[in-house]
Amino acid sequence: MTWLVTGGAGYIGAHVVRAFEAKGIESVVIDDLSSGRRDFVPGGTPFVQGTILDGELLESTFERFDIQGVVHLAGFKYAGVSVQRPLHTYSQNVTGTATLLAAMAERGVERIVFSSSAAVYGTPNVDLVTEETAKRPESPYGESKLIGEWLIADQGRAAGLRHTSLRYFNVVGSGTSEVYDVSPHNLFPLIFDALLDGRTPRINGDDYPTPDGTCVRDYIHVADLAEAHVVAAQRLAAGEPVEPAYNLGSGDGVSVGEIMRAVARVTGIEFAPEIAPRRVGDPARIVATGELAARDLDWRMRHSLDEMVRSAWSARRAAA
């Protein structure tokens, strides 16, 4: 069975492709390279450059490679920027997903693993987020991901599409020196870029009601995340039951201050972070349980915080 990985040239998508490869499962990548990188795709993996908004390209790709399932990661992923670019966000994430689903239906492709997001929850008012926590997205990005889940679920009811949606929290680390997080908005790249440029990393707010006053988030290793995608795909392929959605969380958060201290330990670069004012809208704590995913997707935290930092730093240094 061959799986199409949309957005497979991105940081997460490239890890998913490698996870398929490690299990001996063939995959094909489609990516418009708007944020992905061609050199992130393993050399032996077929690559199609193009957008998921191109239904004809999708259909020809399904036919050419005899695609039997899709892992859908392509999309516009910058929540903050989505507030300034809502139409672009909806075009990429909602129209793109609808176009993909139409092409799948046309070619009889009946399995999909969807890359959703913790952003569907907005700012939760609970200490531990479960799949049943109220969905209150606070950005066009979060709204578009929730609509994507709805579209896929509706197609499941209408046409028998087998599906599951994986809601990520803070994805970090690297499973290979060939791929690293290139986002200009994520915490690890911001810290590493500052250190490599000789600048001091910054913390936005140290007066939150948390143990060290800095925001607490749920950090998960990208290789663990990729493995969960493959298990989800395998369950769909085998006709085994899956939940409509899974949180991929640790159940135990880490503060931004702890991240900074771990970076200093791992890199050997001593620094005292600059303290900036809080950012508007940043909740004090967002942590999720991964119990359902542990039950069904072999989900678990296989990496310590220092291992997450070390793998990310090593990959970033390799690319410098």
**Residue with tokens 């239904």, as numbered in its chain:** 55
State whether 118 and 232 are in the same domain: yes
For residues 78-83, average pLDDT: 90
In a domain, residue 96? The reply is yes
State whether 105 and 9 are in the same domain: yes
In a domain, residue 143? The reply is yes
Catalytic residue (choose from 141, 208, 219, 246): 141
State whether 77 and 180 are in the same domain: no
* Residue 225: Cβ within 10 Å count: 23
CATH of the domain at 204: 3.90.25.10
Confidence of residue 21 (pLDDT cuts 50, 70, 90): very high
Q: Collapse the DSSP code of 116 into the 3-class scheme (helix H, G, I; strand E, B; otherwise coil) and give the result.
A: strand
In a domain, residue 194? The reply is yes
- Beta carbons of 114 and 171 less than 8 angstroms apart: no
Alpha-helix runs per DSSP H in the chain: 11-22, 55-65, 79-82, 86-90, 96-107, 140-159, 187-196, 222-238, 256-267, 291-297, 305-319
Structure tokens given for 236: 């769909």
Confidence of residue 318 (pLDDT cuts 50, 70, 90): very high
Percent of the residues in the chain that have a pLDDT greater than 90, as a whole number: 94
- Among 251, 245, 243, which Cα is nearest to 288's? 251
State whether 283 and 313 are in the same domain: yes
Q: What was the pLDDT predicted at 160?
A: 97
Q: What was the pLDDT predicted at 280?
A: 75
Q: What was the pLDDT predicted at 249?
A: 95
- Beta carbons of 100 and 56 less than 8 angstroms apart: no
State whether 142 and 185 are in the same domain: no
Q: What was the pLDDT predicted at 256?
A: 97
Query: Is residue 141 annotated as a catalytic residue, yes or no?
Result: yes
State whether 77 and 154 are in the same domain: yes
State whether 30 and 165 are in the same domain: yes
CATH of the domain at 95: 3.40.50.720
Q: Work out how many domains the chain is built from and give that number.
A: 2
State whether 6 and 116 are in the same domain: yes
Sequence length of the chain is: 320
In a domain, residue 268? The reply is yes
* Residue 56: Cβ within 10 Å count: 9
Q: Output the average pLDDT for the chain.
A: 96
Confidence of residue 110 (pLDDT cuts 50, 70, 90): very high
Beta carbons within 8 Å of 223's beta carbon, 6+ residues apart: 15, 19, 173, 174, 175, 302, 303, 311
| Domain interval for residue 75 | 2-171+219-248
State whether 210 and 231 are in the same domain: no
In a domain, residue 49? The reply is yes
For residues 152-160, average pLDDT: 98
State whether 201 and 313 are in the same domain: yes
State whether 231 and 104 are in the same domain: yes
Beta carbons within 8 Å of 294's beta carbon, 6+ residues apart: 300
Q: Collapse the DSSP code of 199 into the 3-class scheme (helix H, G, I; strand E, B; otherwise coil) and give the result.
A: coil
pTM of the model: 0.96
End-to-end CA distance of the chain: 37
CA–CA separation, 203 vs 140, rounded Å? 25
State whether 33 and 139 are in the same domain: yes
Pairing of strands 2-6, 26-31: parallel
For residues 299-308, average pLDDT: 96
What would the pLDDT profile of 204-237 be if each residue is shown by its tens digit? 999 999 999 999 999 999 999 999 999 999 999 9
Q: What was the pLDDT predicted at 215?
A: 94
What would the pLDDT profile of 256-266 be if each residue is shown by its tens digit? 999 999 999 99
